[in-house]
Amino acid sequence: MAYVSIESDERMEEGPEGLQFQSFLGSDPRGGNEGVAGGSTSRGYRQDPGTSKFWTFEYFRPYFDVDTKIVLQRCYMTMFPPSATSYQGAYLSPAADLYGPFWTLTTLIFAFFVCSSLSSAIASWLSNPSAATHIVYDFSLIFTGTSLVYSYGLLVPVLLWFGLRYLGVGEWSVVDAVAIWGYGQFVWIPVALLCVIPIAVVRWVVVGLGALLSGYFLMANVYPILASADAKSVRLIIIFLALLHVGIALSFKVLFFSYYALKDIGPEDPTASGIVH
């Protein structure tokens, strides 16, 4: 058997008839690019679940790979009204995530529980300063808060997305809907902290401002989606969403921050009569 030694020649790299070969080793086999939707950044941001099934963890894992700095920016900007109309394009770019909305809603639940318990203790001490005051933890508030916050922050946008898909409005993805709704509840965290103030009128003002900020943010992001529908009647859904939002705001106030001192501080709360905690 004869062996022929073939020396390397630069012309061999071009292949026959000038064909060129290029190495793709070290690059993303799915063709992801940095800084664009469907690509990746330094922390992932890969929003292409590939061939993973919808019900698997691998499908949702890319939506939880997000930088903390980006999450905080997305939270803060929900309280800045001028950015509401351009929020999705300017701050949910290159793609929305589920990490921020999940922790926003979870933090809100514990904020309601802790601040409500502290508010109750302050009201009790103001009513009878000479008596020993202990913080009474009503753990049923955790169940109430979990049910209410997760239902509004997660279930409502999913149902809205399904409804719009049924009506033929496909401008939104379900992740975009959950991200908008979840981040939109961030304002209630500072509201919960401020509602520790033992003045009933101040609490109502704070809750009202929180409702206006979060409501404007949600409506500014949802209405353009509804307006893109061929049927003009779809826009009427915004009225239902606005009423639902007002109802949720009132529920937050009544369920978690209706404590008041027997010796009122400041103007009398006209809605406080009959409320016993």
Residue 169, sorted as left (phi over 0), alpha (psi -120 to 50) or beta, turns out to be: beta
As a whole number of Å, the end-to-end CA separation of the chain is: 98
Q: For residue 170, is it within any domain?
A: yes
Q: For residue 192, is it within any domain?
A: yes
pLDDT at 41: 39
Return the residue matching tokens 């500014």: 220
pLDDT tens across 255-275, in order? 888 765 444 445 565 555 544
pLDDT at 259: 64
What's the domain range around 132?
Answer: 83-256
pLDDT at 35: 38
Please identify every stretch of the chain with a pLDDT value under 70, giving residue numbers as ranges. 1-57, 59, 129-136, 259-277
Tell whether omega for the bond before 29 is within 30 degrees of 0, i.e. cis: no
Q: For residue 152, is it within any domain?
A: yes
pLDDT at 134: 63
Q: For residue 37, is it within any domain?
A: no
Q: For residue 199, is it within any domain?
A: yes
Q: For residue 130, is it within any domain?
A: yes
pLDDT at 33: 38
Q: For residue 56, is it within any domain?
A: no
Number of domains in the chain: 1
Whether pTM > 0.85 for this model: the answer is no
User: 3-state DSSP helix/strand/coil percent for the chain, to nearest 5?
Assistant: 60, 0, 40
Q: For residue 267, is it within any domain?
A: no
